Chains A and B, each alone.
Chain A
């Protein structure tokens, strides 16, 4: 066995067609690693497709906490030729395969069936490990007394693939077996054991042939910790449950739906109503009304659904509803865009969606743990300030798994804001929109005696009746918009921004959302003593912590602002709120999240006097001269090997250098 355990981190990937169960394999592996005491960060890239298109799941594994992925792959488990040599079936190839990500000295586990594609690969610094999966499956079936039934049991490939990686890495097979059994639940004991048996055959084969050939191994951790393996959609759902959310409304959309499904799975246990609506307009309007109805309410969506919701934000703001909490899972836009890919493109929209002046709170969670606590806080803000609260998360944060300690809920307190106590106001009547010193009017709950009120989306008087009076309009605008000032004063700084490092370094990285993870890891690894870089994460986009942020960006030598969008939305917001222009803006809009390497590359480029605007893709800085070398290489490969399916048509001008 190699004595070397992963010092920095080890990066494993499984690639294959969607529907082949690569998620299952990866998540079983992640679970086993998590239980064994390793820290795991999972990142999945998949197409908007059910079966057949390419999907790749990375697990970064280490002995220390992790919050990002890296470009390099140390062990690749390839379930098809596409994982090796890329998309051969589209005129404009969807991807070039994963060979370019292979670390020198790394290894590829592949089925014998794909041997013929090895000729295509021009890497002599990578190990190719062939596994006769079909033969091993047949052996396992013979042992189980079911010889000759390999076709029927092909599905067990998921478990065998896991077994092979476990064997090659010297990981504890029993831990993997436990994860396989778990994935089948309590019911399918016999089927689960068949899978364990098949995995064991693959494991033994890989151990016998490949163990020790990689400079990495995964020995048992001395003191396993109790960690969750959790993804963002679960964390947000749990935040809602902890906060006492009574109704969740939603319309199915990637990548938000998993959250609602998780809540529905918990509806009996936790008495939460999950309402699947006919569209997102209904989802948000119903959530607004549920808030008026006296329950904490929420809705979850993604870009195209969010695009239908602005009227509900206005509805909530105008009628001073205590909510809802709207969680938007950003994905690549515009329009349908990249349904299953990452982007931070909805910041400007979240801040401005809807006609007129809409008071709203906008929070941007930086990681899975934050998304739990932010979601919890969002309900308190909604009740306390009687306005809609938007929580921005994204596909990277929501779909990938991470090992985390159990959330500490002991300090969380529910604040339902000002409530009508049953005693009518001075003149014997209850005014739902009464003018008060704070701007917040106590609210009654429908069904409450003495609390009946009117409210309307028209401009209204304190009683809730329509009026177009000038003086009332002035007072009501002050009342509604003033609640944001109230919130800005009451909400603590730690909820608004987070500084990592001294803040007095030559470079201050500025970012929001899930880019946090990559930056935190990059700084820890590239600048462990914190002399070169600091990091300022903006957590509250509205109300924006203007003075605090301005003080910090002015103190830094150089500010490098990271945005997962084309239009530099955080940099724009910073200029709008503070007048400060960051010296460098790093943008990424290729639909894939920032990796740790990309952060380092961008920071180094900025330090070395790179341009003001730095575009990142595929692990490196790409300039305006960026040409799709990927396409060219693929086309060349096809020519060379005569695989031209479907017939190639000439690329348009500009695609051919």
Chain B
């Protein structure tokens, strides 16, 4: 063996694009963006081995601020795009970035399907309860009876509980983060990337321009003498399904996550709600298409197929 090669570790700076950022000052998105960059640095994933796929909206601009492969796609279609990119190259770290309207509203059907597939991908949802880029209309996560200063009337629909929805759809890693607690969010995102399967991190995000209800100070408030935000880690809460073969345990772990995700005290739990390690979509695909065991699809030579047996089969 020759001389040792000095491996320069990647820092968060390596994932940052040199481009002017046009988010509003004080936007919660900054915290989420930093967390994604820091998580990639923490895991030392080379920038060219990572791809960020975003939808449309304020959150979607995150793709432009990443120094990775970056796709700023269509409203609601983050998951179809993430799915296809991962199928094309399962060696890539593929991160979806979308807003709450994007993920749970217009992209609702895609969100469901992506959970069912359980590809090894990570979806970070920037959840600020409103459609900010169109100036603050109600999103699927705003509470019934709530009205931000940007809304003409209060919402008269029940909100979606993203954690509950993700559990129902089959996501195998479900977490909730907070945009302004970057350090903790880095850890959640890193765990999600490392998790083998579809991961959802619903990130509570402040919008200082339009959402005056769920502001930084609101999140910092006390509820019955206790902080509104608390972490599951400290509590007596084990999100991991220890025996994936045991349907009773799976159900029990989902049930406890479900209860905690809608804490009746009004407090909000951050952290990992649910984690289940089972074979991924890629694993099943590799059983069918064995060539994928050695190389990702984009690198397979499928350009010299011999279809003669197929033609002869038709004679």
Interface residues of A (CB under 8 A from B): 34-35, 226-230, 234, 238, 241-242, 244-247, 249, 266-268, 270-273, 275, 277-279, 281-283, 285-290, 292-297, 311, 315, 319, 406-407, 409, 414, 445-458, 464-466
Does the CB pair B84–A293 fall under 8 Å? yes
Question: Given B88, B110, B285, which contacts A278 in the complex, CB threshold below 8 Å?
Answer: B110
| Bound-state Cα–Cα, A453 to B296, Å | 20
A228-B311, A452-B67 known; A246 and B297 CB under 8 Å? yes
Question: Given B61, B72, B84, B310, which contacts A275 in the complex, CB threshold below 8 Å?
Answer: B84
List B contacts of A268 (CB < 8 A).
Answer: 288-290
The 4 closest A-B pairs by CB, nearest first: A293-B88, A294-B298, A456-B72, A278-B113
List B contacts of A229 (CB < 8 A).
Answer: 314-315
**Residue B97 CB within 8 A of the other chain:** no
List B contacts of A279 (CB < 8 A).
Answer: 109
Given pairs A246-B297, A409-B307, 7 additional interface contacts (CB within 8 A) = A242-B307, A270-B302, A293-B89, A296-B302, A448-B48, A452-B68, A454-B70
List A contacts of B72 (CB < 8 A).
Answer: 454-458, 466
Residue of A nearest to B79 (CB): A282
Q: How many A-B residue pairs have CB under 8 A?
A: 194
Residue of A nearest to B296 (CB): A447
Residue of B nearest to A379 (CB): B303
Does the CB pair B77–A282 fall under 8 Å? yes
Does the CB pair B71–A455 fall under 8 Å? yes
**Residue B206 CB within 8 A of the other chain:** no
Question: Given A226, A277, A446, which contacts B113 in the complex, CB threshold below 8 Å?
Answer: A277
Interface centre among A266, A446, A456 (most CB of B within 10 A): A446
Does the CB pair A454–B84 fall under 8 Å? no
Does the CB pair A273–B17 fall under 8 Å? no
Does the CB pair A294–B89 fall under 8 Å? yes
Residue of A nearest to B310 (CB): A238
| Bound-state Cα–Cα, A456 to B91, Å | 23
Number of interface residues of B (CB under 8 A): 59
A247-B297, A294-B298, A445-B298 known; A454 and B17 CB under 8 Å? yes
Does the CB pair B19–A241 fall under 8 Å? no
Does the CB pair B77–A285 fall under 8 Å? yes
Question: Given B56, B89, B310, B314, which contacts A266 in the complex, CB threshold below 8 Å?
Answer: B310
**Residue B185 CB within 8 A of the other chain:** no
Against A, the Cβ 8 Å flags (1 = close, 0 = not) of B293-308 are 0001111101111011
Shortest CB–CB separation between residue B120 and chain A, in angstroms?
A: 15
| Bound-state Cα–Cα, A226 to B285, Å | 36
List B contacts of A409 (CB < 8 A).
Answer: 307
| Bound-state Cα–Cα, A198 to B84, Å | 50
| Bound-state Cα–Cα, A464 to B56, Å | 15
Does the CB pair B49–A447 fall under 8 Å? yes
Does the CB pair B73–A289 fall under 8 Å? yes
**Residue B141 CB within 8 A of the other chain:** no
Against A, the Cβ 8 Å flags (1 = close, 0 = not) of B40-51 are 000000111101
A295-B298, A452-B68 known; A289 and B80 CB under 8 Å? yes
**Residue B87 CB within 8 A of the other chain:** yes
Does the CB pair A246–B302 fall under 8 Å? yes
Does the CB pair B63–A282 fall under 8 Å? no
Question: Given A230, A247, A406, A452, which contacts B88 in the complex, CB threshold below 8 Å?
Answer: A247
Does the CB pair B113–A282 fall under 8 Å? yes
Does the CB pair B81–A271 fall under 8 Å? no
| Bound-state Cα–Cα, A293 to B51, Å | 10
A238-B310, A407-B311, A456-B64 known; A294 and B113 CB under 8 Å? no
Does the CB pair A315–B74 fall under 8 Å? yes
Residue of B nearest to A279 (CB): B109
Shortest CB–CB separation between residue A459 and chain B, in angstroms?
A: 12
List A contacts of B70 (CB < 8 A).
Answer: 452-455, 464
List B contacts of A270 (CB < 8 A).
Answer: 302, 305, 307
List B contacts of A296 (CB < 8 A).
Answer: 302
Does the CB pair B110–A406 fall under 8 Å? no
**Residue B163 CB within 8 A of the other chain:** no
List B contacts of A311 (CB < 8 A).
Answer: 74, 77
| Bound-state Cα–Cα, A433 to B71, Å | 13
Does the CB pair B73–A247 fall under 8 Å? no
Does the CB pair B289–A246 fall under 8 Å? no
List A contacts of B77 (CB < 8 A).
Answer: 281-282, 285, 311, 315
